[in-house]
Chains A and B, each alone.
Chain A
Amino acid sequence: MADNDIIEAPSYEDTISLLKAKFGDKLVFRTSTKKNNRAINQKRRIFLSTDRETIYPLCEYLHGKLNYEQATSVCGVDWVDHLQVVYHITNYFTAVMVEIEVDVPNDDPHIASVTPIWGGANWHERETYELFGIIFDGHPKLERLLTPQSYEFYPFRKSYKLRGQE
């Protein structure tokens, strides 16, 4: 098998072993302790976390080699001491979904955009930018989408209090 061949439907085990072989200790795999979740029991979910430098090559590898065709969602989480971006990536042939968590520091909220790989991540990243203030480098049009252009704050951060909450 040549190096640039696409594996159309890599199984759960294949995906994990290929990712481990390619990225080594850059990826931290997590296992779920849930007993009643059918998707986890039938091996359709992969949980992993990585760092900011690895996310773009990882996504390129998932898309280009392992045929993970769809960026299902990109979302932000504010953990107060740091921010986090969570990616969900799906393969249509095996229905395996990879969940990738990437931590981003508060004082330098930059991360590489995956929109050049998956066009579907475009609006998800714009939404995460306007609501959490995470800047996706390399995004074609990083502007506010849902909130007015005049907003200068990021409403989904925990520091932004709703009425009755402060």
Chain B
Amino acid sequence: MTEKMNADKMWVTMGPQHPFSHGLWTLRVKVDGEIVVDAEPEVGYLHRGWEKECEQRTYAKIIPMADRLCYSASMTWSHLYCKAAEEALDIEVPERAQYMRVIADEICRIQSHLMWLAAVGTDLGNLTVFLWALREREFFLDLNVRLCGQRLTTNYPRIGGVRSDMPYYFERDCMRAVEHFEKTLWEIIGLTDESSIFVSRMKGIGYITRKDVANLGITGPAMRGCGVDYDVRRDDPYDAYDQLTFEVPVLKEGDTYSRYMVRIEELFQSCELIRQAMKKLESIPKTAPYRVKVPRCVPAGTTCAKIEDPRGESIMYLVSDGSERPYRLKVRSPVFVNVSASKNMVVGNRIADIPAIMAMIDMCLGETDR
């Protein structure tokens, strides 16, 4: 009986070149008819030895490398690296730089989530969402250009602060973009949530329980869509996040649609965070320092910095030996762990639902393979 059933099952290799994969990785799935019974993700096509590469560079030279970990979350990655080095040096960042980092991080979060929304649109066959989301994303990339001179790999944070103060009229431009976006986001939601086809492709698939999510180490919006109420920005605050009030969206359903809703709600919360941080910045004089000078060598010891990336919880564990180069720099990438749990998400679903389920991980291979 079982042998006969096994004969009907087959392995299907999705990737490394597949429209749903958004990068070079493979998801091998075992299907029984249309139902997925087993899955095996394979990564590593992009392994560059990032961590080993860092051991050869001085601390300042690693900041632009940290940008390249993920093209759409470059600000949070270089911020995290700078935070790790600052904690190892045990220095306090000036208040003005803390708020500017919050603003830069939230701009990064908005544009990263919009990139994800565009990808979801194409995956689920709604090309208008793709175009509209990318159109709105351009306004935030323009803000990146004003702030740092680059659209994606921003190279903005520095160990001890940020590279430069805000350019003239940046507050005005930033608030214009945010207020415009808060209106147009409702139009995009009208395209997605009010389209019954779009919603029915996401609802009721990819269920994962709260216990499994915690045990498998899934973090970020994928975790909060399954009922875990944890956000590094609120529970383990860094920089100026403890001075700002915001809500952490948590949904208990645990299916693909709830993970989608969490990300949409995070877009609104990011707008709110930018508005509050801008308001607080007004009370800090423009002549206040935005950067402190730091020594070239980091004292020996270990440090572990944590940050909420658009995709989840990222960690850098830095071992320093007193020289001008790190002894070891470990990167904990959120996508690396989330994709390792993809078997639990896809098993039991139809093979046609895999793009919708995996879209909620928001793949980024640069940080997965390092």
Contact = CB atoms under 8 A, between A and B. Distances in A.
B216 A156 contact: no
B128 interface: no
A149 to B, nearest CB: 10
B92 interface: yes
B90 A95 contact: no
A73 B369 contact: no
Contacts of A145: 43-44
A164 B330 CA distance: 22
B328 interface: yes
Contacts of A4: none
B52 A39 contact: no
Given A88-B304, A165-B56, A120 B47 contact: no
Nearest to B49: A155
Interface string A62-96: 00000001111101011000000010100010010
B272 interface: no
A97 interface: yes
A36 B111 CA distance: 31
Contact of A39 (B228, B236, B336, B340): B236
Given A97-B304, A119-B341, A72 B313 contact: yes
B214 A162 contact: no
A36 B90 contact: yes
A77 B317 CA distance: 10
Given A36-B90, A92-B214, A77 B341 contact: no
Interface in A99-145: 99, 118-124, 145
B268 interface: no
Given A92-B228, A146-B47, A122 B340 contact: yes
A159 interface: no
A69 B214 CA distance: 6
Given A36-B91, A75-B330, A156 B217 contact: no
Given A86-B317, A146-B44, A73 B332 contact: yes
B200 to A, nearest CB: 30
Contact of A162 (B52, B218, B328, B332): B52
A69 B213 CA distance: 9
Contact of B236 (A44, A77, A155): A44
Contacts of B106: none
Contacts of B306: 39, 97
B43 A146 contact: yes
Nearest to A47: B302
Contact of B214 (A70, A97, A122, A146): A70
B3 interface: no
Interface in B213-233: 214-219, 228-230, 232
B217 A162 contact: no
Contacts of A155: 49, 52
The 7 closest A-B pairs by CB, nearest first: A120-B217, A69-B214, A95-B235, A146-B44, A73-B332, A75-B330, A146-B47
Given A70-B219, A75-B332, A118-B215, 18 more contacts: A34-B87, A36-B91, A37-B87, A70-B215, A70-B217, A77-B328, A92-B230, A95-B230, A97-B304, A99-B304, A120-B218, A123-B336, A123-B337, A145-B43, A147-B44, A155-B49, A155-B52, A156-B51
